[in-house]
């Protein structure tokens, strides 16, 4: 799937798939397929570049809505979130952006997990910074925090952290880490190293 197809993918996910009989099939997709969908949906449309700011802003917000729906499908309806749902989410986040399927070291998998959660949140924040007219506000503002609630429920066990490192010539490097919610030693170590929680915990 090409990243440029993101608006079409979002429209399909946001469509009446809920009632079309395809929802159960989609919800059972393997982690690899979910990851590919997220990879496409994370394609951001720069407003000035596209020439139609309202259309670009709407596409970005639709993609946030689609990612929210994917997270809701992964999460399922059980209360609290089931271990299977958490494991599937972790697997999906470790694979987002993966061009070639390959076995990665555990440390790298968890760094990608944290990085991809951060990418989703940065996309969400950027998209909602561009509610550039009343129609977009009316259509999207009420659902703004849905993705935060869903992510928060899914990362309760493995909490993502990041640290910004500023290099000469105004360059930035981001380091990512993950800590189990009960691993106080690791959490304190990350705090001492100036890592900040991305979400959850």
Q: Which domain holds residue 126?
A: 3-156
Does residue 146 belong to any structural domain of this protein? yes
Query: Which pLDDT value is given to residue 27?
Result: 76
Helices (H), the chain: 6-14, 23-27, 31-41, 47-50, 53-75, 83-95, 106-128, 134-140, 146-154, 184-192
What is the spatial distance between Cα 45 and Cα 56, in angstroms, rounded to a whole number?
Answer: 6
Does residue 168 belong to any structural domain of this protein? no
Does residue 112 belong to any structural domain of this protein? yes
Query: Which pLDDT value is given to residue 21?
Result: 60
Helix (H, G, I), strand (E, B) or coil at 183: coil
Does residue 105 belong to any structural domain of this protein? yes
Q: C-alpha distances in angstroms, 149 versus 16, 98, 111? A: 23, 26, 22
Query: Which pLDDT value is given to residue 49?
Result: 66
For the sheet with 171-180, list strands across it: 171-180, 158-167, 196-197
Q: What is the pLDDT along the chain (201 residues), one digit of tens a residue?
A: 666 789 999 999 998 655 556 667 777 889 999 999 999 999 999 887 656 888 999 999 999 999 999 999 999 888 889 999 999 999 999 999 987 777 888 999 999 999 999 999 999 999 999 888 899 999 999 999 999 999 999 999 999 999 999 888 778 899 999 999 999 999 999 999 999 999 975
Does residue 45 belong to any structural domain of this protein? yes
Query: Which pLDDT value is given to residue 51?
Result: 67
89's CB contacts (< 8 A; 6+ apart) are 71, 74, 75, 154
What is the spatial distance between Cα 108 and Cα 130, in angstroms, rounded to a whole number?
Answer: 33
Instruction: Report pTM.
Output: 0.92
Does residue 17 belong to any structural domain of this protein? yes
Number of domains in the chain: 1
Query: Which pLDDT value is given to residue 99?
Result: 77
Does residue 192 belong to any structural domain of this protein? no
Does residue 21 belong to any structural domain of this protein? yes
Residue 10 burial class via C-beta count within 10 angstroms: exposed 0-12, middle 13-18, buried 19 and up: buried
């Amino acid at each position: 799937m090409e990243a440029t197809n993101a608006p079409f993918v979002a429209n399909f996910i946001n469509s009446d798939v809920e009632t079309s009989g395809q929802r159960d099939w989609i919800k059972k997709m393997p982690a690899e397929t979910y990851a590919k969908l997220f990879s496409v949906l994370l394609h951001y449309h720069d407003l000035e570049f596209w020439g139609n700011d309202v259309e670009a802003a709407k596409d970005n917000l639709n993609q946030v809505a689609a990612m929210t729906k994917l997270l809701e499908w992964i999460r399922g309806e059980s209360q609290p979130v089931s271990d299977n749902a958490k494991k599937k989410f972790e697997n999906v986040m470790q694979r987002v952006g993966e061009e070639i399927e390959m076995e990665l070291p555990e440390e790298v998998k968890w760094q990608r997990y944290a990085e991809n959660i951060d990418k989703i949140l940065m996309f969400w924040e950027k998209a909602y910074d561009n509610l550039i007219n009343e129609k977009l506000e009316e259509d999207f503002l009420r659902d703004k925090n849905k993705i935060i609630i869903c992510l928060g429920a899914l990362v309760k066990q493995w909490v993502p952290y990041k640290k910004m490192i500023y290099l000469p010539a105004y360059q930035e490097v981001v380091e990512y880490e993950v800590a189990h919610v009960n691993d106080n030693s690791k959490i304190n170590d990350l705090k001492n190293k100036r890592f900040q929680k991305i979400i959850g915990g």
